[in-house]
Amino acid sequence: MPYLDNAGAALPSKRQLDELSKFRNDMILANPHSRHSTALKTKQLMNSARLRVLQYFNASSDDYFVVFTYNTTHSLKIVAENFKFTRTKTEEVSEISNILYENQSQFAYLYDSHHSVIGLRNFVKNRVDSISCVSENAFENIPNTSNSLFVLTAMSNFCGKKYDLDNIAKLQEKGWSVCLDAASLVSTAPLDLKKYRPNFVALSFYKMFGYPTGVGALIIRKNSEQMIPKNSFAGGTVQSVEEDSFYFISKDLEDAYEEGTMNFHGIAAIQHGFDEIERCGGIKNIQNKTYSIAKQMFKMLSTKVHENGKQVVEIYSQNSSEFGTQDEQGAIITFNIKRPDGGYYGYNEVEKICAIFGIEIRTGCFCNIGACRKYLGISHEMIQNNQRQGKRCGDEMDLIDGKPTGAVRISFGRQSEEDDILVVENMIDNCFVGSMAQFSQVSTSLKIHNYSPEVVRLCAFPIKSCASETKDSFNLTERGFEYDRDFMIVQSGITLSLKTHPELCRISATISEDKSMLEIKAFGEMLEYPLKYSNNSEQERFVCRNKISTISCDEKTNKWLDNVLDMQNCQLVRVTNDSFKSFVNESPFLLINEASVHILSQIINIPTSEIITRFRSNIVVRGMPPFIEDTAKHLSIEGINFEVVDKCLRCEMICIDPDTGVKDPSLILALRNFRKNQKLTFGIYIRQTSFQQGTSINIGDMVQFN
Ligand SMILES: *Cc1c(COP(=O)(O)O)cnc(C)c1O
């Protein structure tokens, strides 16, 4: 599955979790503030984790120390809350400036900052002379100051732009303290604290290696802690305190900042994250790999054009025609997709289609309103206007007056592969450019075992060839889904099929809630047939070359069928209770892929949901590229094993409109065009490799191919 939201969180690898679970047996840890041996062991593990963090960032313990926090946001807050500003003005700051000032005590940040940085201004506004939100231009002429804090974004989480870290020293020379927001940078790039020497570094470990969550770090340069003297205390952070006066003496270094009991289990686990990075050849290697994939993706996206020659993808980056160098650009690409007429597709639409293809991406503004506004050209008026129109973070309003309110972000990580580019290209070609891509090529080069789609629809057809019954869950029997094709209609001994009698699709058969009745509805009439087996005589019949023993249902039902179908000698027959086979022609289950349906739906303009009905499958899955199911051999659905028996060969039956019974050939033509000289298959027949009583298949079950 292409997971392209690594800037949201890295994913732990299976290997990493396996390693961790071995170590888990050793994880009897206790409160590190106690002094018994389990507590001491815990404290030791935390201290070796601190050392590992320093080593990883090439910092010596003479130079830096590590404070564990909950995440980047928490690290930033510690700096802002305690920073020793020395305000001279008397009134609270009420406006944000866009320049830096000479000799004021100020708080400043880049416009391209995460909300967690911007939000700090509310902590500091009554302790500073000014607050500034600036662009990089501000670094060309940095004014002298002291007791001022600059929070520098190391890499934009919006578009992957890397900021020049030489600015850290330039700011420091002019008297600034610099806090580096490294959260986004360190997920795919190294940070060398011998080369760049910020006063503070904030980061979250889940962005580096996925696990643990709830642990971040504030790395503090020695002596810079004097700029953030603790003005409060809590359990674990005081040397000496009185409960009934304001007297307290803070502990030193990390002990001053780690308030209360930290996530010591999580902290002990970060060693395994660093081990994982080493197993991947180190962070430089990960940087090279992710950069190279991102660059190819950029090239692919930037060269997509509509038939009329217009660009399909509008990319938001420092230079939209060329991907920056590794020093300028990280493994993030942010964009919107445009129509041939120059209008935009909303990012929600793109996100939904990505979901069908199994592509996991992030949409919106990614908590970075400054960069979002700049790259998308959104003015202050538009923000306020959008707000008035009801636009809220995370909502469905992706376009207002035709203009995008956010974008689509693709971000790579250590598990990304070049194949991910193919999947995205495939999706764009088919759903947004409208040209037919080479599916056969794509589906053979992609590996189906990398995907674990989800079951999104389940159907059974209690009466063969009639309309389906959809449910959230079906019990499994040796014949297939419970009651699936247990019944069929014969006329004068011959099975009625949809091919010869398209009107059958207008007869619906469902099983009553208490499973006592088969409810048949047709043309406004309804009949109930009791499901309890009677001892009617058995008869052998051939259904599609298979001999099956059947029993006949009662005369009343037969008469009713004659009447609704306007025919004579109709008969409802049923498989015997102990039959191993139902009236299916092939295998008991037909599985189809929603993405493949989507491709056909794009071509012929019939809604996906209708096409799904026409394909009469039992199981619909979502979350893998189109037509990749053609390569499946074995699969399991929540531990229940199936093998693929065959691909499902299609005929003109798929042309029958399920509501009217009228034939319309476009679907089969589309399938024919698509399959070219191959057989007209769609979907796969599967069967259980061994049957187990008491199992079921449910909506939301995960499918694993192997
Ligand atoms: C993710 C991110 C943050 C916030 O990190 P949390 O772990 O949510 O606290 C801050 N800044 C940047 C640049 C980020 O990418």
pLDDT tens digits along 50-102: 999 999 999 999 999 999 999 999 999 999 999 999 999 988 999 999 999 99
pLDDT tens digits along 90-135: 889 999 999 999 999 999 999 999 999 999 999 999 999 999 999 9
How many whole angstroms separate alpha carbon 472 and alpha carbon 338? 37
State the pLDDT at residue 671. Answer: 83
Q: Are 291 and 330 in contact (CB under 8 A)?
A: yes
Output the average pLDDT for the chain.
91
| CA-based torsion, 79, 85, 90, 94: positive or negative | negative
CA triple 78-83-88, angle to 5 deg? 150
Adjacent-strand bridge partners of 641: 636
> Poorest-confidence range of 160-174, 533-547, 580-594, 671-685?
533-547
DSSP conformational letter for 588 = S
Instruction: Find the catalytic residue in 365, 367, 431, 648.
Output: 367
Residues with CB under 6 A from ligand 1: 71-73, 114, 116, 153, 157, 181, 183-184, 204, 207
Count CB atoms within 10 A of the CB of residue 475.
Answer: 14
State the pLDDT at residue 103. Answer: 93
3 state DSSP class of 647:
strand
Q: Which of 220-229, 511-520, 541-550 has the highest mean pLDDT?
A: 220-229
> Has residue 250 got a pLDDT over 80?
yes
3 state DSSP class of 551:
strand
Calculate how far, in angstroms, residue 367's C-alpha sits from the geometric centre of ligand 1.
9
> Has residue 227 got a pLDDT over 90?
yes
DSSP conformational letter for 146 = S
3 state DSSP class of 591:
strand
State the pLDDT at residue 16. Answer: 92
Burial of 401 from C-beta contacts in 10 A (0-12 / 13-18 / 19+): exposed
Please give the full DSSP string across 195-209, using - where no structure is assigned: T---SEEEEETHHHH
> Has residue 697 got a pLDDT over 70?
yes
State the pLDDT at residue 544. Answer: 65
pLDDT tens digits along 436-484: 444 444 555 678 888 889 999 999 999 999 999 999 999 999 999 999 9
Domains of the chain: residue spans and CATH: 31-279 (3.40.640.10), 283-431 (3.90.1150.10), 448-454+587-705 (2.40.33.20), 482-575 (no CATH)
How many whole angstroms separate alpha carbon 560 and alpha carbon 645? 37
CA neighbor of 159 nearest in space, from 339, 487, 509, 408:
408
Q: What is the mean pLDDT of residues 150-155?
A: 98
State the pLDDT at residue 148. Answer: 98
pLDDT tens digits along 621-632: 999 988 899 999
Per the annotation, the verdict on 367 as an active-site residue is yes
> Has residue 40 got a pLDDT over 60?
yes
Phi, psi (rounded to 5 degrees) for 576: -70, 155
Substitution site in 5, 68, 73, 163 for ligand 1 pocket (most atoms within 8 Å of beta carbon): 73
Structure tokens at 643: 């093998």
Q: What is the mean pLDDT of residues 488-517?
A: 89
